[in-house]
Amino acid sequence: MPADREHKITDRYVRAFLLFSTFHPMQGYAPIVSPTADAEKEVFEVTGLDRFSVNGACIWPGGTLSNTIQSVSGSTWGGRNFGGYEGFMHTLVNHHTNYAFASTGAAKVPFNQATFGFGGGEIQLTIKFGPTQVLQNIKLNFPSASWPRAAEMVPAQPRGGFVKGNPECDG
């Protein structure tokens, strides 16, 4: 390592998470509300995330990962109460520390590396109503690719705001 970089941060670690955005095809004008029973409304199960990698490092656990949804979209902040695109916020409610589709590992991406390798694969998504009734099985194929790393934004001095790049890490 060059002497001028000996005590500097030279790498970043990448983690990932998977979000599912829902859609209600035809609700009309009746509001979408949560039933009084506090039980699972939807369950998303995903198999195959362990096939995904960043720069060759696997960041997901194996097996079937499951996320239960106990709130409808209209009952969350910013949620949609009348059919159509519902977003994803209601899928995160009550999952402050146990969201199943957040990576458990991290992959190293050096600051001087302009791109990183994404190792893709096929995953299986199962959508259930409640804990047992399968509504749909979907296979999703994510091809491997080389993606650009995110640009770092640093505070601009002395006027405030942000500028692209960080001379401490990029130079």
For 73, counting Cβ atoms within 10 Å of its Cβ (0-12 exposed, 13-18 middle, 19+ buried), the class is buried
Q: 28 versus 61: which is more confidently predicted?
A: 61
Distance, C-alpha 124 to centroid of its chain = 16
Q: How far apart, in whole angstroms, are the C-alpha atoms of residue 127 and residue 45?
A: 7
Q: What's the whole-model pTM score?
A: 0.70
pLDDT value at position 75? 65
Highest mean pLDDT among 13-17, 102-106, 116-120: 116-120
Lowest-confidence range among 9-23, 53-67, 71-85, 138-152? Answer: 71-85
Within 13 Å, how many C-alpha atoms sit on residue 110's CB side?
Answer: 5
